[in-house]
Amino acid sequence: MNEKVAIIGGGIVGASAAYYLSSLPGGSQISVTLYDDGAGQATKAAAGIISPWLSKRRNQRWYQLAKDGATTLMTLARQANLATDIYHQTGTIITRTNEKDLHDLYVLAQERQADAPDMGDVELLSAKEVQQRMPLLTNPQPGIFVSGGARIDGGALVTELLAQAQRVNLTVKHERVNLDGDGNLQFPTGKQHFDHVIIAAGPWLNDLLKPLGIKAAVRPQKGQLIELSVPDYSTQENMPALMPEGERDFIPLGYGKLIVGATHDDEAGFNLTATPEATQDLLNSAKQFADYLTADNVTKVKVGTRAYSTDFSPFFGRLKSHPQLLVASGLGASGLTTGPLIGRLLAGTLIYGGTPDWSNYEKPLSDYLS
């Protein structure tokens, strides 16, 4: 008889888990139901840059997870035949204004290449060379070009992964669910038992685990980004994404569209209202590099809620107290990079069993759950 799996949360982890439960060998024998009411989902509002290799974060577990996550996305893009408006390996440019900082970053890039061949080519660019590759810019800065970097549309990626999984073994239900004290899904009409449940509900994890007497060390963070209309250069579809020092990410999408963001608001909690202050902050950041931009260029504003752990690191795995339950949360701003790998790891352990050792990617789950 087919095993029944429920996934709570249709963001980057939940959608990736659903996709891999449908595509990994043996997964098609599993019946999967995903529940998500769509409110506040960070991935739906997210567009981002996949380029973790030059991060200065000292957390080596996070770096290993992000590095392998970038590789997972490259493979996923080929396997799922993702369109370039979902995932596009355009390369990324990371800028520095100080000459010594730029040199140090270039040295770091060369060192990281040895352990991360998926970085691709690394080039040191002058401000003029940066502008040649990104003619949208009027005030370029010198930087490092990494050819393996990519831009990604989170909402479009989730939609595509779920659509492909639905053709195999996935049912999607747009509703909110709760758990009872035994880990069963609770509905107004009664409870329903699943053999396994993946809880990938971001900052809402605490609400779901409360009936089990478990508290998760996660908090919500509001993020806002803006989409702007810009000149449609013939090369824009293949323009690199820009990670400027001290400013917001600058992501050309092609066809005269530009994404700038995102903000990090720790005080707003689950508030999903777009604010003029955040929009102006993002616009001011964009104008540092493209001074012709005005409020009239803003065509869209998106808001979502991320989950952050106490040490800013993702955590995921099976609950010892309730072995049928698996959780994932705390991805923060790196969710588009790390989420697909986490989803694949969770799907793999459901299909193949065992107790995999993920200590190279995360601290013990008990560090985040009490």
- pLDDT tens for 121-162 read 999 999 999 999 999 999 999 999 999 999 999 999 999 999
For residue 245, being part of any structural domain is answered with yes
**Tokens representing residue 288 in the block:** 């540092």
Q: Is the peptide bond before 262 cis (omega within 30 degrees of 0)?
A: yes
CA torsion sign, 127 to 128 to 134 to 138?
positive
For residue 49, being part of any structural domain is answered with no
Query: Please, are residues 146 and 94 in contact by the beta-carbon 8 Å criterion?
Result: yes
For residue 168, being part of any structural domain is answered with yes
Q: Are residues 329 and 301 in the same domain?
A: no
For residue 270, being part of any structural domain is answered with yes
Distance CA 136, CA 232 (A): 9
DSSP state of 64: H
Q: Are residues 130 and 258 in the same domain?
A: yes
> In 72-113, which ranges are E strands?
87-88, 92-95
Say whether 295 sits in a helix, a strand or coil.
helix
**Tokens representing residue 181 in the block:** 């004290």
Among 309, 330, 347, the domain-final residue is 309
What does pLDDT average to over the chain?
A: 93
176-201 tens-digit pLDDT: 999 999 999 998 888 999 999 999 99
Predicted local distance difference test score (pLDDT) of residue 44: 66
**Tokens representing residue 228 in the block:** 């702007």
For residue 76, being part of any structural domain is answered with no
Predicted local distance difference test score (pLDDT) of residue 119: 96
Nearest to 211 by CA among 186, 187, 188, 189: 186
Q: Are residues 275 and 295 in the same domain?
A: yes
Residue 326, domain CATH: 3.50.50.60
For residue 302, being part of any structural domain is answered with yes
Q: Are residues 235 and 303 in the same domain?
A: yes
Say whether 146 sits in a helix, a strand or coil.
strand
- Residue 357 CB-density burial (10 A; 0-12 exposed, 13-18 middle, 19+ buried): exposed
Among 309, 339, 355, the domain-final residue is 309
265-313 tens-digit pLDDT: 998 888 889 999 999 999 999 999 999 999 999 999 999 899 999 999 9
DSSP state of 16: H
Look at residue 1 and tell me whether its pLDDT is greater than 60.
Answer: no
Q: Are residues 119 and 238 in the same domain?
A: yes
Residues paired with residue 179 on neighbouring β-strands, in sequence order: 185
**How many residues make up the chain in this entry?**
370
For residue 22, name the pLDDT band (cuts at 50, 70, 90).
Answer: very high
For residue 74, being part of any structural domain is answered with no
Among 271, 294, 309, the domain-final residue is 309
Distance CA 150, CA 49 (A): 6
Q: Are residues 228 and 248 in the same domain?
A: yes
> Which amino acid, one-letter code, is at 362?
E
Predicted local distance difference test score (pLDDT) of residue 43: 63
216-230 b/e (C-beta count within 10 Å ≥ 16 → b): bbbebbbbbbbbbeb
> Which amino acid, one-letter code, is at 337?
T
Contacts of 287 (CB under 8 A, 6+ apart): 293
Give Cα 44 to chain centroid, integer Å: 10
**Tokens representing residue 168 in the block:** 């195999």
Query: Please, are residues 177 and 76 in contact by the beta-carbon 8 Å criterion?
Result: no
Which residue, chain included where needed, has tokens 């600058």? 250
Look at residue 40 and tell me whether its pLDDT is greater than 80.
Answer: no
**Tokens representing residue 293 in the block:** 């931009």
Q: Are residues 181 and 132 in the same domain?
A: no
The residue segments making up the domain with residue 360 are 4-44+155-216+311-367
Predicted local distance difference test score (pLDDT) of residue 38: 77
> Which amino acid, one-letter code, is at 87?
Y
Distance CA 175, CA 288 (A): 42
Strands 196-199 and 325-329: parallel
Distance CA 99, CA 105 (A): 10
- Residue 129 CB-density burial (10 A; 0-12 exposed, 13-18 middle, 19+ buried): middle
For residue 94, being part of any structural domain is answered with yes
Predicted local distance difference test score (pLDDT) of residue 45: 66
Predicted local distance difference test score (pLDDT) of residue 163: 97
Query: What is the phi/psi pair of residue 118, to 5°?
Result: -70, -10
For residue 225, name the pLDDT band (cuts at 50, 70, 90).
Answer: very high
For residue 56, name the pLDDT band (cuts at 50, 70, 90).
Answer: confident
- For the chain, what is the domain count? 2
Distance CA 206, CA 10 (A): 17
Which residue, chain included where needed, has tokens 């997870």? 65
Predicted local distance difference test score (pLDDT) of residue 28: 83
